[in-house]
Amino acid sequence: MLNITESHLKKAFFLILVILVVLNFFETPHSPHFVLDKYPGFWAIFGCGVAIILAKVAKGSAHTFLGKDEDVYMENNKTMPIVDDSHHQEHH
Amino acid sequence: MNEFIHPSVFFIICAVIVWFLPGKIARFIPPLAAILGIISVFSMKEGTYAEVKYLTFILHMGRVDSLSMVFANVFAIQALIGFIYALHVEDRWQHMAALMYISGAFGCVFAGDYATLFIFWELMSISSTFLVWLRRNPVSSRAGYRYFLFHTIGGLFLLAGLLLRYKAVGNFTFEAIAPSSLQFFDYLILIGFCVNAAVLPLHAWLPDAYPEATITGAVFMSAFTTKTAVYVLARGFSGVEILGIMGTLMTIYGVFYATIENNARRILAYHIVSQVGYMVAGIGIGTAMTINGSCAHAYAHILYKGQLFMGAGALLYAAGTAHLSELGGLFRRLPWVFFLYMIGAVSISGFPLFSGFISKTITIAGVAEAHHTWLALGLEIAAVGTFLSVGIKLPYFAFFAKPDSGIPLKKIPWNMYAAMGIAGFLCFLIGIKPDLLYGLLPHELEYEPYTKWHVLQSMMILCFTGLGFYIMRKKLTPEAKRNADFDYLYRVIGKSVVAIARKPIELIDNLWSEFYAKVGLKGMLKMAGIMAWFDKAAIDGVVDGTALGVKRIGNSASNVQTGNLQNYLALAMIIGVVIFAAVWFG
């Protein structure tokens, strides 16, 4: 029985990343659509970079001006109690 | 079989049958409607059928061509999957709402003119509102009401557009319009369509209402409303360039919100905005290739988005919440939900071997080949965001992240797993046999998704998105917050309108009070003295006479007012009939 730990998975993941970039040196697009995508590794930097920037910008916005209380739409609600009884409604 | 039987017929008949049956039995009826629908759609031949004369118009209910066939095909399949998923639901009202909703969707797809389209369009809007309301809690009551308001406004735009158009051109014909000759009324129709396609900034109803719908209702809604809108846009407005830009913005906007949302079903709802963005962008560019891309993507999207909503619905069903901040570590107890959800997740992210890969890349390649380089780049950015939020963030924080939260889980019924199994299989099948889907598309398609470069490029983007997540995973922890969207803006505007309207009235009221206190009181007292004299001397005599008359009328009125609601309704109806008859024959 193989004993796979988290560090094994991590190593395998990084190995895959390296293999992909190495392959990119041999396989390039026939007709690059964007100027930079003829260089090997462009899509690697693109994927990682966009993910980080998106996470930073989105989380930053959520923390500054977008984040509201989760029941922001239940304001002025004096008569109806907030009960999430959907759980019981789905089956009788 | 060459005959055309409109699939809506089966769904409407079954809705009536369901009405008369107890819930325990009624739940087995809807899948039958779906099976009959599939048979009907798969045996259809292209042509024009079902022209019904109504007043002085002819309603074209059966336009069957290559474009309507793609959508009808996947609608029928998804209807069956959805009803299998809902097989355990004994609330027959939910089944009726879903059946009417789907019959509306088929009606829109086969509608050959704007009048027919509008009828079914409104049928969809009303019945889907019930899919939200029938969750029966205050949150969904309110969300459903907002949803209905929004769609009513959208429907009114459509109605205004088609009526003005009728006045100008004299018919309701629904055909493609050359983008250069768009008239004012065409823009009104376009806005009506854009509301249902959740095009920015008219999209807020979608992430607002879908997460509050019933578990099974959300699965249906994710498939039909926006995709019907995509169909009518493809039919009427291909090549309208603004759609290309708006679509690309939608793709990024959707993933932006999905990255910070906490409610799993709201994350998925934002991904509908994002994915429909690909389709809208393809329609906006309007080449044969991008139209094909939009249709293919709609087809694939209905299946994998249904799969994702079913997965998130199963989580909600079992754990009683879909809020990621309350979930975590559920992998050991719900391994199959995780596995089936992930099939949807890798499909939407565009992993090779799964359906999103063979559909999304057509649109992106088509947009790039039409030399809209910036739009193509935007679509690639959204692809990264898709995998980041739906492919990694959602499952990571629901199934892993923390040790098992110990939240008590309810047993998930077998039919939910069965439905997810079928949808997952189809996502995979289309992924490995793309020609099954490509053969259905409206235009000839010369596109090979499985080239070395396409596979390598996709794998690089996706795996390095994974690296990005790995670096940012702490920061991405979901928080129990709701993020303001455009609907927040509407509310701010609404409140300020009320405030602005109230201010002058308050001002006048204050001034009057002051005037009354200073000037009015003395004058009033004097006036009152005169009035009292006048009252005693003149009025009393007259009024006493009238009062008797009033009393007499009151008595006969109270005979009519029995206090029974049914009597009132009957009376109202009789009065209505009388008025109608008077107008008709008068």
Q: What is the pLDDT of residues B108-153, one digit of tens each?
A: 999 989 999 999 999 999 999 999 999 888 888 888 998 999 999 9
pLDDT of A78 above 70: no
Contacts of B140 in chain A (CB under 8 A): 86
pLDDT band for A90, please (50, 70, 90 cuts). very low
pLDDT of B63 above 50: yes
pLDDT digits (tens, 9 = 90+) for B264-291: 899 999 999 999 999 999 999 988 999 9
Are B468 and A61 a contacting pair at CB < 8 A?
A: no
- Residue identified by tokens 């809807």 is B30
Q: How far is B89 from chain A (nearest CA, A)?
A: 6
pLDDT of B549 above 80: no
Which of B335, B359, B336, B333 has the alpha carbon at shortest distance from B426? Answer: B359
Q: Where are the alpha helices (DSSP H) in B170-214?
A: 184-196, 205-209
pLDDT band for B311, please (50, 70, 90 cuts). very high
| Residue B373, pLDDT score | 87
| Residue A84, pLDDT score | 47
Q: How far is B86 from chain A (nearest CA, A)?
A: 10
Q: What is the rounded CA–CA span in Å between residue B206 and residue B198?
A: 7
Mapping DSSP onto H, E and C, the string for B283-332 reads HHHCCHHHHHHHHHHHHHHHHHHHHHHHHHHHHHHHHCCCEHHHCCCCCC
Helical (H) or strand (E) element with B52: strand B47-54
Instruction: Count other C-beta atoms under 10 Å from residue B292's C-beta.
Output: 26
| Residue B1, pLDDT score | 45
* Average pLDDT value for chain A: 75
| Residue B509, pLDDT score | 83
Query: What is the radius of gyration, based on Cα positions, of chain A?
Result: 24
| Residue B554, pLDDT score | 55
In three-state secondary structure terms, B480 is coil
- Residue identified by tokens 């959805």 is B82
| Residue B302, pLDDT score | 95
pLDDT digits (tens, 9 = 90+) for B208-240: 899 999 999 999 999 999 999 999 999 999 989
Exposed e or buried b per residue across B9-44, where buried means at least 16 C-beta atoms within 10 angstroms of its C-beta: bbbbbbbebbeeeeeeebbebbbebbebbbebbeeb
| Residue B430, pLDDT score | 92
pLDDT digits (tens, 9 = 90+) for B147-192: 999 999 999 999 999 999 999 998 898 888 888 888 899 999 999 9
* Average pLDDT value for chain B: 86
Q: Where are the alpha helices (DSSP H) in B60-137?
A: 66-85, 92-110, 114-133
Q: How far is B212 from chain A (nearest CA, A)?
A: 9
Q: Is B127:B151 a contact under the CB 8 Å cutoff? A: no
Q: Is B59:B67 a contact under the CB 8 Å cutoff? A: no
pLDDT (average), residues B50-60: 83
| Residue A88, pLDDT score | 47
Closest chain A residue by Cα to residue B371: A33
Are A74 and B257 a contacting pair at CB < 8 A?
A: no
- Which of A54, A72, A87, A89 to substitute to test the interface with B, most B CBs within 10 Å? A54
Closest chain B residue by Cα to residue A83: B137
Residues 6+ positions from A74 with CB-CB distance below 8 Å:
A82, B138, B139, B142
pLDDT of A60 above 80: yes
What count of CB pairs under 8 Å joins A to B?
Answer: 180
Closest chain B residue by Cα to residue A92: B90
Q: Is B134:B217 a contact under the CB 8 Å cutoff? A: yes
Q: How far is B500 from chain A (nearest CA, A)?
A: 19
Q: How far is B263 from chain A (nearest CA, A)?
A: 10
- Beta strands (DSSP E) in chain A are 67-68
Are A46 and B373 a contacting pair at CB < 8 A?
A: no
Q: What is the rounded CA–CA span in Å between residue B564 and residue B174?
A: 48
pLDDT band for A82, please (50, 70, 90 cuts). very low
Contacts of B314 in chain A (CB under 8 A): none
Q: What is the pTM of this model?
A: 0.82
Are B468 and A80 a contacting pair at CB < 8 A?
A: no
Q: What is the rounded CA–CA span in Å between residue B294 and residue B284?
A: 10
| Residue B564, pLDDT score | 52
| Residue A76, pLDDT score | 54
Q: What is the rounded CA–CA span in Å between residue A4 and residue B53?
A: 70
pLDDT of B499 above 60: yes
- Which of A11, A79, A89 to substitute to test the interface with B, most B CBs within 10 Å? A89
CA A21 to centroid of chain Cα atoms: 21
Residues 6+ positions from B520 with CB-CB distance below 8 Å:
none
Token pair belonging to B562: 């029995």
Contacts of A83 in chain B (CB under 8 A): 137-138
Residues 6+ positions from B527 with CB-CB distance below 8 Å:
none
- Alpha-carbon distance values, B370 to B90, B280, B287, B373, B569 (Å): 51, 15, 8, 8, 61
Contacts of A24 in chain B (CB under 8 A): 456, 460
Q: Which of B66-70, B404-408, B506-510 has the lowest mean pLDDT?
A: B404-408
pLDDT of B498 above 60: yes
Are B380 and A13 a contacting pair at CB < 8 A?
A: no
Contacts of B397 in chain A (CB under 8 A): none
Contacts of B321 in chain A (CB under 8 A): 84
Question: Checking DSSP bridges between strand B482-483 and strand A67-68, what pairing results, if any?
Answer: antiparallel
| Residue B547, pLDDT score | 56
pLDDT (average), residues B79-107: 93
- Residue identified by tokens 């100008």 is B168
Q: How far is B473 from chain A (nearest CA, A)?
A: 9
Contacts of B139 in chain A (CB under 8 A): 71, 73-74, 82, 84
CB-nearest partner of B381 from A50, A59, A70? A50
Instruction: Count other C-beta atoms under 10 Å from residue B80's C-beta.
Output: 19
pLDDT band for B247, please (50, 70, 90 cuts). very high
Q: How far is B131 from chain A (nearest CA, A)?
A: 12
Closest chain A residue by Cα to residue B133: A86
pLDDT digits (tens, 9 = 90+) for B425-477: 999 999 999 999 998 898 888 888 888 888 888 999 999 999 999 998 888 88
CB-nearest partner of B138 from A13, A57, A82? A82
- Alpha-carbon distance values, B451 to A55, B127, B291, B432, B457 (Å): 31, 44, 22, 13, 10
Contacts of B257 in chain A (CB under 8 A): 58
Exposed e or buried b per residue across B249-262, where buried means at least 16 C-beta atoms within 10 angstroms of its C-beta: bbbbbbbbbbbbbb
Are A86 and B467 a contacting pair at CB < 8 A?
A: no
CB-nearest partner of A47 from B215, B452, B468? B468
pLDDT (average), residues B564-571: 53
CA B124 to centroid of chain Cα atoms: 9
Q: How far is A85 from chain B (nearest CA, A)?
A: 6
Helical (H) or strand (E) element with B367: helix B355-369
| Residue A79, pLDDT score | 45
Exposed e or buried b per residue across B136-152, where buried means at least 16 C-beta atoms within 10 angstroms of its C-beta: ebbbbebbbebbbebbe
CB-nearest partner of B483 from A52, A68, A87? A68
| Residue B415, pLDDT score | 93
Are A73 and B472 a contacting pair at CB < 8 A?
A: no
Q: What are phi and psi of B113, to 5 degrees?
A: -145, 165
* Highest mean pLDDT (candidates B1-10, B251-260, B397-406, B549-558): B251-260
